Amino acid sequence: MLRLNFLLLFAILVSALYLVHTQYESRRLYVELEKATAQSRKIETESERLQVEKRAEATPLKLERLARDRLQMRTTTPAITQYVKYKSAADVALAAGQKAQHE
């Protein structure tokens, strides 16, 4: 009988220690989950902020100002526009053939 009592006492102690360990792990995992959720919210907020910044920077006025200031570009006017005449491949070959005959 005494042996059975010790065996039952040992089983109860092991069961109690396992229960404490399980509760500890449960709390630790819950805290990690809460941290991950908070980090996820922070990342989503940062992503939304960056999207708003991106849209603000892509406005036509800002792009024009950036092109003018940093890239030294200017808007086109008829005074500075140069028109290039398109030559077809046949015209280029004909001109090259005539040039070769004159030499």
Q: Is residue 65 part of a domain?
A: yes
Q: In the prediction, which pLDDT does 39 show? A: 98
In this prediction, residue 34 carries a pLDDT of 98
| Local confidence pLDDT in tens for the 103 residues of the chain | 889 999 999 999 999 999 999 999 999 999 999 999 999 999 999 999 999 999 888 888 888 888 889 988 888 777 877 777 777 777 777 777 776 666 5
What is the domain extent for residue 71? 2-78
Residue 86 lies in a domain: no
pLDDT, residue 82, reads: 78
**Spatial distance between the Cα atoms of 33 and 27, rounded to a whole number of angstroms:** 10
Note whether residue 98 is domain-resident. no
With respect to residue 96, please indicate whether it lies within any of the assigned structural domains. no
The answer to whether position 83 is within a domain reads no
Which pLDDT belongs to residue 79? 80
Which residues, at least 6 apart from 64, have a Cβ–Cβ distance to it below 8 Å? 75
The per-residue pLDDT for 11 is 96
> Residue 30's pLDDT is what?
98
Rounded Cα distance, 79 and 72, in Å: 18
14 inside domain? yes
How many domains is the chain built from? 1
Q: What is the DSSP string of 33-82?
A: HHHHHHHHHHHHHHHHHHHHHHHHHTSHHHHHHHHHHTS------TTT--
